[in-house]
């Protein structure tokens, strides 16, 4: 199994190393054989090759069985997002990564980090499913001196396949899908709702509810335990999935997966490259390590290996091994070693 790693910028290389150390430790326990191919991406690739997504990086990802991405961007690139249309967005589009999956959960040991009252986050366990290769992100962008325009396009097929992913996930969990749109204003949302209702007919065992994005942005925080699978279009998903990190109160423990119809999936922490603490050895590697677990489960069917890692992370946190961002003193390597010990 070929895994391509894109360590990127800032704390990216450090947390990637931590994720790979955990993978190396779990692999023999589950007889998982793999090779790693490290490639340049993001700011590091701009420095090395003048482009955030060099050709050989793209080629390597296309022939990979799975991709691990750590984090990109930094102040020296004068753009937090490192030319996303040539970098991250181009990568998503080239690989057809249309389905972004973000599980939202509260770790028992980290409850105190949430800005929300304990009774609000009790029982929170949902997944945000974001459409990732359509909508206003990939419509025409026109910037003139006195006017600007963005075009938001969706096709029936684009909506159908992401809604189907949401229903498939819900079927294996709480059997409820909340489809989010702005149906009272947008044509794309009107189509979205039509398609969601159509797909729902194939899943009589799953409940579909519709929500307007403005109202959902509120309810996701005030009533978070009402949700099981939240599915939405690209721009709303960008906003809502970041907003959902309010619930755990930290970006440091949230992994994500992005899937294509065919070809490799990509796994990455939801947080950024934290350039302010890069190289200090104090970054929190958990989002990256949990992304490795997602990879084992989703790309390689290694559910046992994934469960080992997730369990070890829980145990490590319960043992009070916490990095600075989680309110503790542990270094990146303290935490990585503790997780490996708990495997």
Q: Which residues bind a second copy (CB under 8 A)?
A: 79-81, 84-85, 89, 115-117, 120, 136-137, 139, 141-143, 145-157, 182, 184-188, 190-192, 212-215, 217-218, 221-222, 235-236, 238-243, 245-246, 249
CB of 47 to ligand IPM, least distance (A): 18
Q: Rule CB under 6 A: is residue 84 a binding residue for ligand IPM?
A: yes
Closest CA to 188 of 228, 229, 232: 232
Question: Which span (24-32, 83-91, 111-119, 247-255) binds ligand IPM, by CB under 6 A?
Answer: 83-91
| Number of residues this chain uses to bind ligand IPM (CB under 6 A) | 8
- Residue 109 vs residues 18, 243, 244, 250, 319: alpha-carbon distances, Å: 21, 21, 18, 12, 9
Of 69 and 166, the one with the shorter C-beta distance to ligand IPM is 69
| Burial of 35: CB neighbours in 10 Å, binned 0-12, 13-18, 19+ | exposed
Of 96 and 139, the one with the shorter C-beta distance to a second copy is 139
Q: Rule CB under 6 A: is residue 150 a binding residue for ligand IPM?
A: no
283 is in an annotated binding site: yes
Query: For residues 140, 89, 296 and 306, what is the CA-based torsion angle, rounded to 10 degrees?
Result: -90
3-state SS of 273-308 is CCHHHCCCCCCCCHHHHHHHHHHHHHHHCCHHHHHH
Site string for ligand IPM, 210-229 (x = CB under 6 A): ----x---------------
CB of 146 to a second copy, least distance (A): 4
88, 104, 121, 312: which one binds ligand IPM (CB under 6 A):
88
Of 188 and 336, the one with the shorter C-beta distance to ligand IPM is 188
**Interacting residues with ligand IPM between 151 and 190 (CB under 6 A):** 184-185
**Interacting residues with ligand IPM between 233 and 262 (CB under 6 A):** 238
- For residue 156, give the 3-state DSSP assignment: helix
Q: Which letter does DSSP use for residue 90 in this model? A: H
Query: For residues 141, 240, 171 and 99, what is the CA-based torsion angle, rounded to 10 degrees?
Result: 30
Of 157 and 197, the one with the shorter C-beta distance to a second copy is 157
Q: Rule CB under 6 A: is residue 334 a binding residue for ligand IPM?
A: no
Residue 178 and residue 230 in contact, taking contact as beta carbons nearer than 8 Å? yes
Burial 138-153 (b: 16+ CB within 10 A, else e): beeeeeeeeeeeeebe
Strands 99-105, 125-131: parallel, antiparallel or unpaired by DSSP?
Answer: antiparallel
279 is in an annotated binding site: yes
Looking at the annotation, which residues are catalytic?
137, 182, 214, 238, 242
Alpha-carbon span 193 to 289, nearest angstrom? 36
Of 187 and 318, the one with the shorter C-beta distance to ligand IPM is 187
150 is in an annotated binding site: no
Alpha-carbon span 73 to 250, nearest angstrom? 20
Return binding residues: 92, 102, 130, 214, 238, 242, 272-284
Show binding-site residues for NAD(+): 272-284
Known binding positions for Mg(2+): 214, 238, 242
Binding site for ligand IPM (CB under 6 A): 81, 84, 88-89, 184-185, 214, 238
């Amino acid at each position: 199994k070929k895994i391509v790693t894109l360590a990127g910028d800032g704390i990216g290389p450090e947390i990637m190393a931590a994720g790979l150390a955990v993978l190396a430790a779990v692999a023999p326990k589950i007889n998982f054989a793999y090779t790693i191919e490290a490639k340049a991406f993001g700011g590091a690739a701009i420095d090395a090759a003048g482009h955030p997504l060099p050709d050989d990086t793209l080629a390597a990802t296309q022939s990979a069985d799975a991709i691990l991405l750590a984090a990109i961007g930094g102040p020296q690139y004068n753009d937090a997002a490192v030319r996303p249309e040539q970098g991250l967005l181009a990568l998503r589009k080239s690989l057809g990564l249309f389905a972004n999956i973000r599980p939202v959960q509260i770790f028992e040991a980290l409850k105190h980090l949430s800005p929300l009252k304990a009774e609000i986050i009790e029982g929170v366990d949902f997944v945000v499913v974001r459409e990732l290769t359509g909508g206003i992100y990939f419509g025409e962008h026109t910037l003139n001196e006195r006017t600007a325009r963005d075009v938001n396009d969706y096709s029936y097929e684009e909506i159908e396949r992401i809604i189907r992913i949401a229903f498939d996930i819900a079927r294996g969990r709480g059997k409820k899908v909340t489809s989010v749109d702005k149906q009272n204003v947008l044509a794309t949302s009107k189509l979205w709702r039509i398609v969601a209702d159509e797909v729902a007919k194939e899943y009589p065992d799953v409940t579909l509810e519709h929500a307007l994005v403005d109202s959902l942005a509120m309810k996701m925080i005030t009533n978070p335990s009402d949700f099981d699978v939240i599915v939405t279009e690209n721009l709303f998903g960008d906003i809502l999935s970041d907003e959902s990190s309010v619930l755990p109160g930290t970006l440091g423990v949230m992994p994500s997966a992005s899937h294509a119809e065919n070809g490799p999936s990509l796994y990455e922490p939801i947080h950024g490259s934290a350039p302010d603490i890069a190289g200090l050895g104090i970054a929190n590697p958990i989002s990256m390590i949990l992304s490795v677990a997602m990879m084992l489960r989703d790309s390689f069917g290694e559910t046992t290996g994934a469960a080992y890692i997730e369990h070890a992370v829980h145990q490590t946190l319960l043992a009070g091994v916490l990095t600075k961002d989680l309110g503790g003193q542990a270094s990146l390597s303290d935490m990585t070693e503790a997780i490996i010990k708990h495997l």
